[in-house]
Chain A
Amino acid sequence: MEQARIDELVSKYNEGVADPSEVQQIETLLESGTIELTQLRSLQLLDDRIMKVEAPAASLRMDDQFYTMLAKARKKSTSKSFFSEILDWSWLTPRLAFGAAILVAGFVGGFMFQRQGGTDVTELTGEVQQLKEMMMLSLLEKESATERLRAVSLTSDMDQVSQTVTTALFETLNNDDNVNVRLAALDALTPYSRQAAVREELIRSIEKQESPLVQIALAELMAAIQEKKSLKELQKIIDSDKTPLDAKNRIKESMKVLI
């Protein structure tokens, strides 16, 4: 088709006087890439308006749902990958060979340098631990809930956490805006719940929680560690009008274990 005819078609369309057969021709031209949608001014105007219309903001529930799902998936994948890695011999065999070689080298090295003692290694481990703690504390300050979740998850790599870390975890458990981050902080604190100070702080945390999810998780932890001193605080949640019925029932179940 000649350019003059194409221009005429576009111009007729823009003036609203194109007949059905001409509209059909316009479609063919669009399909072949001879003309672009942007040349059809009246439609372009409408399209521009569509681009400007914004959907109302989604609620925080959407974020909560997502991060709960992500936390669950992470938990599942950690345990699954551990077993699958163990069972995957094709992957494991070369690594076992490499491991054995390293072990032998280690023995030789150890024999040669035994007089130096283990202080260097201990120092290095300590430094790495400190580095991890610093990283965790700085990530906890981030605005993004993902980063804060990452911060909390870092503690699972630590053999033993310092008081600074447990304090930071309690600060997160009691004050973080995101319920999933709070739940993750509680998870991270669970291994240390044998310590009396951590137990007491966990009990104190019960009254600070407003999310039924965290309240239930705390009640379940109290039942698991048989912390009878928490009964008073748990009863307060049961008595509160703000607590949803489902949450009350779940907490009551945990309390039965304690009584």
Chain B
Amino acid sequence: MESIADNALMTKVRDGDLDKLGLLFERYKRPLYGFFYGMNRNQEVSEDLVQNTFFRILKYKHLFRGEGDFRTWMFHIARNVSHDHYRKDKIKAKDPIENWQDRLTSFESRATDIEHMEERQMLELAMDKLPADKREILLLSKYQEKKYKEIGDILGCSEGAVKVKVFRALQELKAIYQQLEKMM
């Protein structure tokens, strides 16, 4: 139902009623921010990326056809914004899995810091250690409310392929989490 309302609002934005974008911003600023923050753990950068996403929504509003789900379209743009940001600034989003063990070595020296780490913080740390593409699929799954078909639309793959990607990401996350647990 909300999706219909979203599409109706975005159609109005496309047709020139720009104020309606404010309503969509209020509705989606938190999940978008959560998605970006999950990717980079940087408040300021995440806020800027939310802004860039809405800037692009405004810039490419004429491309919104109103057929699909607005949220899916928005996350598609958000994902491009995130990729462009890292490409432009030549920032490596996060190390690939091959390198995370090296980082754990230095992390071990801070073992005392994590002794009292809460479960939640440990999960966040494990998420940070995931390769960017796996972290992204888990965040999309979270903020797209597990609508795997829509996530498939964003990523350009089938619903089944998304489920396998989520499965692999969760498996790897579990392995990292268990490693961290052992270190505590």
Contacts and interface: CB of A to CB of B under 8 A. Distances in A.
A88 interface: no
A30 B167 CA distance: 9
The CB with the most chain A CB atoms within 10 A, among B37, B47, B119, B138, is that of B47
Interface string A45-89: 011011111111011011101110110011001000100000000
A148 B141 CA distance: 35
A66 B51 contact: yes
B166 interface: yes
Contacts of B55: 69
B167 A26 contact: yes
Nearest to A146: B22
A26 B171 CA distance: 12
Interface stretch (A35-43, A97-105, A164-172, A200-208): A35-43
A73 B56 CA distance: 12
B160 A53 contact: no
Interface in B130-183: 138, 141-142, 158-161, 163-164, 166-168, 170-171, 173-174, 177
A5 to B, nearest CB: 19
B123 A30 contact: no
Nearest to B173: A46
A15 to B, nearest CB: 14
Interface residues of B, number: 45
- For chain A, give the interface size range: 35 or more
B144 to A, nearest CB: 12
Contact of A56 (B43, B119, B138, B167): B43
A73 B58 contact: yes
A62 B26 contact: no
A235 interface: no
A40 B166 CA distance: 12
Contacts of B141: 47
A81 B34 CA distance: 36
A58 B50 contact: yes
29 contacts: A32-B160, A33-B160, A36-B163, A37-B170, A43-B167, A46-B170, A46-B173, A47-B141, A47-B170, A50-B127, A52-B120, A54-B34, A56-B37, A58-B33, A58-B47, A62-B50, A62-B51, A65-B51, A69-B54, A69-B55, A70-B19, A70-B21, A73-B18, A74-B19, A77-B18, A144-B22, A145-B22, A146-B19, A150-B19
Which 4 pairs across A and B sit closest by C-beta, in order of nearness? Answer: A146-B22, A31-B160, A55-B37, A55-B34
